[in-house]
Amino acid sequence: MTTAYEQLTARFARLANLNGAAAVLHWDAAAMMPVGGAGARAEQLAVLSLLGHEMLCHQEAADLLDQAEGQRDDLGPWQQANLREMRAKWRHATALPGDLVTALSRAGSACEMVWRTARAEDDFASLAPGLAEVVNLVRQAATAKGEAFGCAPYDALLSQYEPGLDAADIDSHFDALADFLPALLGQVLEQQPMPPAAPERMPAAVQEAISRRLLDALGFNFQHGRLDVSLHPFTGGVADDVRLTTRYDEADPLGSLYPALHEGGHGMYERGLPAEWRLQPVGGAMGMAMHESQSLLVEMQACRGDAFLHYLSPLLRELGGVSGPAWEVQGLATRVRHVARSLIRVEADEVTYPLHIIHRYRLERAILGGDLAVTDLPGAWREGMQGLLGVDVPNDRDGCMQDIHWMDGAFGYFPTYTLGAMAAAQLFQTAEAALVNLSDDLSRGDFARLMAWLGENVHSQGRLHGSADDLLTAATGAPLDGAIFRRHLEKRYLGD
d(CA 244, CA 229): 8
Listed residue (219, 277, 211) closest to 245, CA to CA: 211
Tally of CB atoms within 10 A around 479: 14
Virtual torsion, Cα 301, 306, 311, 315, nearest 10 deg: 100
d(CA 386, CA 380): 10
What beta strand segments (E) does 10-67 contain? none
Chain centre to alpha carbon of residue 257 = 17
d(CA 99, CA 96): 8
Q: Strand 241-246 vs strand 225-229: parallel, antiparallel, or unpaired?
A: parallel
Q: How many helices (H) and strands (E) does the chain have?
A: 20, 3
Cβ(446)–Cβ(382) below 8 Å: no
> Distances in Å between the alpha carbon of 255 and those of 70, 135, 189, 249, 296?
53, 32, 21, 7, 15
Virtual torsion, Cα 72, 78, 79, 82, nearest 10 deg: 110
What beta strand segments (E) does 60-175 contain? none
Kindly report each contact of residues 322-328 with a partner whose C-beta sits within 8 Å and lies 24 or more positions away, as own/partner: 322/198, 322/200, 322/202, 323/200, 324/196, 324/198, 324/200, 325/196, 326/195, 326/196, 326/197, 326/198, 326/200, 327/198, 327/200
Among residues 263, 299, 350, 364, the one annotated as catalytic is: 263
Q: Is 263 a catalytic residue?
A: yes
3-state secondary structure of 245: strand
Q: At what angle are helices 4-31 and 59-69 packed, to 10 degrees?
A: 130
306 HSE (CA, 13 A, CB side): 5
d(CA 54, CA 51): 5
What beta strand segments (E) does 188-266 contain? 225-229, 235-238, 241-246
d(CA 339, CA 194): 10
Kindly list the catalytic residues. Answer: 263
